[in-house]
Amino acid sequence: MNVRTRAPYLTTLTAALALALTGSLSAPAHATVPDSVIANDTVWKDTDGNPILAQGGNVLKVGSTYYWVGQRLVKGQPKAVNLYSSTDLENWKFEGPILSQSGTTGPLATGRWLGRPQLMRNPNGTFVLVVEVNDGPGGRNQMLFATSPTVDGTYTPTTQNSVKVNGNTTGDHSVFVDGPNAYLVYIGDTSTGINQTVNIARLNADWTAVADEPPIWSASNSAHTEAPAIVKVGATYYLFASGMDWWDATPTSYRTSTAMTSAGWSQGSWQRVVTRPGSANSFGTQFEQIIPVVGSQGTSYLYNGDRYSQFYCDDTTKAPGGVGLNAWYPLTFEAGAPVLHGNTDVDVDVVRGKITGNRVANGRFDQAAAGPVTNWVVKAGSSAETQESSAVPCTDRKNRQLSVYSGYVSQHLSLPNGTYELSFDYRSSGGQKNAYVEVKNHGSTTPVRVHVNTSQYEWATKKITFTVTSGKADLGVWADAGGWLNIDNVSVWPTT
């Protein structure tokens, strides 16, 4: 994905001009900003420049290549399962559709639901695709398995019709591979209602059907979860799930087990995943998958978050969960507890197995609809909000920006000690008594500030270099009335 492209309205500055805009500040050191990153809160594009259409799927690594399957969900078009490939988890090539709807009969009939594609590779070399289709009773989901001898081939269904799972229709599902074994992890329906149970069922030897045996674990879905998926970290299995709120973003919960057994999963209860900074809805996403990034220096984890914005698309409706159809964030484990970090940009080093990023959350101000400033603190009495010019079609979303007339907006960052560069874009009417962007509480009693109270009607970039000795820093934007000030594309990267 071409993730470093600025919003269309921005003016690209030469290095000399950017340096001049820092005013009396010392010349900044070179920031270690990567050439490509996962740019959250943007519309991701493939290597051909087309929007990536891959909802509700998973990522499978084959050799040194990652393959991402997802649902093509476009109003008025037949649904399909799209396949993309990448060697760095940042730039994705479109390989094409591998399972498509057509005709008027059967589980792949045009107009039916076709979703939650999950891709696996059986030890015998066969690639297996599992999808849900809604040709069950009452339009509820049943499973359809399809196979291909190659990962990028056309997948052929193994049965003429989709099948129930243990005699019931289902809600969301995923797959989990653990050595020679594979499992279907799913939300089950019962005779009393939909989404009533959480289940883990073993697949048969060739992974093309659920084994003819009871689930290894089945429990009441009293926590109202959906989109369940398992990842193994060390000797511990983590089952993650989203909240159940239709298409909207939700908090993410998890539970753990030390064995893939009923007794193991029955221990404990659902816990809420901690977010930094705090987010009530997983930074505007619904959970899909945790992607392990295994390299020479260890394993890091990437949270695969989904936004079903496209499903809402018409000429007047904005994306309910923010700009972009997907958003992926670093996930770390602290004393065994997962922590989700809302970095605006994420840099993945697949060779070393390391994930770093722009530590600012919602630095593009596009994570949620215009209005309240998500993940930033607006001081009481301040006149500040995120703004966009008008409602636009989903194919042409306009970026939002922070607008401050008067008051103070801030965000607290936890940063390892070292030297960093803060970069931001701004435009201003000028005329304020004072207006500035600052970094403070970074280990010095004196804030580092750059003033922005002179007129600047075209977007321009300013930068601040600062050194952290306290393990933290606070970013702040201040305006003292008299004119308007817009801020966008805020980032913090370490310097070399």
In which residue are the tokens 């770093």 written?
356
Whether residues 467 and 325 share a domain: the answer is: no
Residues in the chain: 496
Whether residues 234 and 319 share a domain: the answer is: yes
Whether residues 379 and 312 share a domain: the answer is: no
Q: Is residue 280 part of a domain?
A: yes
Q: Which two tokens stand for residue 463?
A: 């930068």
d(CA 259, CA 246): 31
d(CA 402, CA 486): 5
Whether residues 370 and 450 share a domain: the answer is: yes
Whether residues 263 and 173 share a domain: the answer is: yes
Q: Is residue 3 part of a domain?
A: no
Whether residues 173 and 216 share a domain: the answer is: yes
Return left, alpha or beta for 409; rule: phi > 0 is left, psi -120 to 50 is alpha, else beta. Answer: beta
Are 377 and 386 spatial neighbours (Cβ–Cβ below 8 Å)? no
Whether residues 317 and 448 share a domain: the answer is: no
Q: Is residue 187 part of a domain?
A: yes
What tens digit of pLDDT does each residue of 222-238 get?
999 999 999 999 999 99
Question: What does R_g of the chain's alpha carbons equal in angstroms?
Answer: 24
Whether residues 326 and 371 share a domain: the answer is: no
- Per-residue DSSP letters for 165-232? BTTB-EEEEEEEEETTEEEEEEEEEETTEEEEEEEEEEB-TTSSSB-SS--SEEEE-TT-EEEEEEEE
Whether residues 330 and 373 share a domain: the answer is: no
Q: pLDDT 10s digit of each residue in the chain, 496 long?
A: 654 443 333 333 333 333 333 333 444 455 677 889 999 999 899 999 999 999 999 999 999 999 999 999 988 899 999 999 999 999 999 999 999 999 999 999 999 999 999 999 999 999 999 999 987 667 799 999 999 999 999 999 999 999 999 999 999 999 999 999 999 999 999 999 999 999 999 999 999 999 999 999 999 999 999 999 999 999 999 999 999 988 889 999 999 999 999 999 999 999 999 999 999 999 999 999 999 999 999 999 999 999 987 666 555 555 566 888 999 999 999 999 999 999 999 999 999 999 999 999 999 999 987 789 999 999 999 999 998 755 444 544 567 899 999 999 999 999 999 999 999 999 999 999 999 999 999 999 999 999 999 999 999 999 999 999 999 999 999 999 999 999 999 999 999 7
What is the span of the domain harbouring residue 132? 41-342
H or E stretch at 407: strand 401-414
Last residue of a domain, one of 342, 377, 396: 342
What tens digit of pLDDT does each residue of 262-305 get?
999 999 999 999 999 999 999 999 999 999 999 999 999 999 99
How many domains does the chain divide into?
Answer: 2
Q: Is residue 2 part of a domain?
A: no
Q: What pLDDT is attached to residue 12?
A: 32
The CATH number that applies at residue 151 is 2.115.10.20
Q: Is residue 350 part of a domain?
A: no
Does the CA dihedral 91-95-101-102 come out positive or negative?
A: positive
Q: What pLDDT is attached to residue 494?
A: 94
DSSP 455: -
Whether residues 65 and 128 share a domain: the answer is: yes
Q: Is 126 exposed, middle or buried (0-12, 13-18, 19+ CB in 10 A)?
A: middle
- Per-residue DSSP letters for 102-153? -SSSSTT-TTS-EEEEEEEE-TTS-EEEEEEES-SGGG-BEEEEEEESSTTS
Q: Which two tokens stand for residue 430?
A: 């000028």
Whether residues 192 and 271 share a domain: the answer is: yes
Q: Is residue 347 part of a domain?
A: no
Whether residues 66 and 180 share a domain: the answer is: yes
